[in-house]
Amino acid sequence: MKKAAEAVIEYNNSGLSIIEMSHRSPEFEDVMAQSFAIFRELMNVPDDYDVMFLQGGASLQFTMIPQNLLPQGAKAGYVNTGVWATKAMKEAKMFGEVAELASSKDANFNFIPKDYNIPKDLKYLHLTSNNTIYGTQYKSFPETNIPLICDMSSDIMSKPVNISKFDLIYAGAQKNIGPAGVVIVIAKKGIFGKTGRAIPTMMDYQTHIDNASMFNTPPCFSIYTCLLTMQWLKKLGGVVTIEKMNEKKAQLLYDEIDSNPLFVGTAAVEDRSLMNVTFVMKDASLEKEFLTLAEDRGLSGIKGHRSVGGFRASIYNAMPIESVQALVDAMRDFAKAKA
C-alpha cells in the first residue's frame, strides 16, 4: 500500500505519476511485462495458455465467455452454486442453450453439488470455484472431457491450481491480487474463433491476446498494484505457502464455530470455504448484540449477506491470522458473558 501510494505521486524517479504516464511508455510496458511474468510464475501457467489483464470485472466475463465460445444453438452446462453462477447463466442464455446440470439453491446454496451427469454434447462446463456469500468452495473439480471454464474471482492465488484441467479461468483481482478495475483471464491457446458469429472488437478475446492486453488503455494503477501484491506473495513463498497460511486461519475460526455453544456454521463441513467463513448464532436474538461487541473491538465487515444472515468473515490472502484470532477471542468472550 505504501509503495502504491508513493507511485501515485511519482513512479520510479520518472517525474511522472503511475496514473498519468502513458501506457505506451517504456516504464509502464515494463510493469506489464513484469506482471505477466510473475503471474505465470506464481500460478504455474503452462506455455500453451494465454494470460490477459482486462476490464469489466467477472461480470463482463459472464457475457464474453459464451459470446466467444458458445455457437448459436449450441449448449453449455452450468453448475449453480450461488448468486454469481446464477448471473453467469443468465448472460449465457443470450447466446445459446444453457443446461443447469446441478444446483444447491433449494438448500440456500450451502453445499457444492456432486455426482451429476455431464452431457458429452456440451461446448463447455462452467463452475464458480468459491462462493463468497454462502461460504462454499470446490475442494476438487470434476473430471470431464468437456472444456472446463471456472470463475475463480474470490479464491485465485489462494492455493495451487492445475491450470491444464481448464480451458479458461477468469478472476476479478479485487479479493486476493489488487484493487477493483482489472480481471485476469487464463485461456488455452486455440479455443477462440470457432463460434461463427461476428464479435465486437472489444468483446473478442483474440483482440486482447494479439495486443498483449494493450489494445486500449489498461487499468494501469490496478495492474501496478497487482504487481506489488504478487511480488509480496512471491517473497512470502508463493501460492503453496499462502495456502498453508489460509488453511491455518480457516481452521482456527471453524474450530471456534464448532466448539462455541452460541454459534453454528452455515456451509456443509466438506465444502467450507477457506476464504469466506459463514456462521449464525443458535439464538438469532443475540446477533445484533454480538455484532455491536465486534464493532466495538474494531472487527468490521463481519455482518452476513442478507440472503444468509448471521456473520461472514472474509479471510483472503492479506488477512493476518492475528485478525482471525481477534474474532475468535470476541466469540469466546461473548459466550462466557452469556454462560
The residues, any chain, with a CB within 8 Å of residue 239's CB and separated by 6 or more, are 42, 43, 157, 158, 159, 160, 233
> Both ends of the chain: CA-CA distance in Å?
42
The label of the residue with cell 461476428 reads 198
Euclidean distance between CA atoms 5 and 11, whole angstroms: 10
Catalytic member of 50, 123, 151, 271: 151
Active-site annotation holder among 50, 84, 188, 204: 84
CA–CA separation, 43 and 31 (whole Å): 18
Q: Is 232 designated active site? A: no
Radius of gyration in angstroms for the set of CA atoms belonging to the chain, rounded to a whole number: 21
CA 12 to chain centre: 30
User: Are 151 and 96 a contacting pair, CB within 8 Å?
Assistant: no
Catalytic residue among 123, 155, 159, 175: 175
The answer to whether the beta carbons of residues 76 and 70 sit under 8 Å apart is: yes
Residue numbers annotated as active site: 84, 151, 175
